[in-house]
Structure formats: C-alpha cells, structure tokens
Amino acid sequence: MTRDEEFMKLAIEEAKKSKGPKKFGAVVVKDGEVVAKAYSTTEEEQDGTRHAEIKAISEACKVLGTKHLPGCILYSTCEPCMMCTGAAMWEKIRKIVYGMNRQDALRHFEHSNH
C-alpha cells in the first residue's frame, strides 16, 4: 500500500463517522505525519459549510499554530467543492489528493438507497 493509499484510508475512516447519506472525510498531512482529520458534519450541525476539508484545514492550522499550511497535503474522499478548493488554495496547501471525482460521487449518491 502506498503512502497516499494509507492516508486515503484514514480519510475514508473519518467519512464513515458522518451522519446522513453523504459521507465525506479529509486528512491533512505534513512531512508524512497526520496533522488533522475530520468528517463532514453538515447534517448534524445543519450548516452547509461544515465540510470535512474545511474542518481538517482549520484544525491543522490550530495544531501547527499557523495561518497557512505550505508543505501540507490534503487527502479528501471526494474531489473538493469550490469552497474547499478555495480554502486549500488560501491556506497554501501544496497538493490535494482525492478518492473520487464529483461526477462519480453524484452518481453514487443518486443511486444509493438514502
């Protein structure tokens, strides 16, 4: 298993904690170490901005005591939306690795039993 696959597996484990039919997870890694993990809480918080990526980025900033995250990699179970991509760019995330693109995710959730 590659390092990317290991970190994506952690993001998937985070996603499983999400409530509701759409489950998303994210992990921020710096120098091969996990800095932050998060899952989407949009359902339980009734707040459309509580995406896993935003939460993981915010937590990573707190943990590292910094405003920006150069050198960090964001792992997300799904291709980040415009809001999350913008946040990653704003925080100077070096690279984004995602598990599935938005089109595949839409098809997946469209055909789920939820």
Q: Catalytic annotation on 59?
A: no
Query: Beta strands 72-78 and 25-30: pairing type?
Result: antiparallel
Per the listing, tokens 């039993």 go with: 113
Q: Which of these is catalytic: 44, 53, 59, 91?
A: 53
Are 55 and 83 a contacting pair, CB within 8 Å? Answer: no
CA distance 16 to 19: 8
Are 64 and 30 a contacting pair, CB within 8 Å? Answer: yes
- Measured distance between the N- and C-terminal CA atoms of the chain, rounded to whole angstroms: 32
Residue of 93, 49, 40, 48 lying closest to 70 (CA atoms): 93
Q: Which residues are catalytic?
A: 53
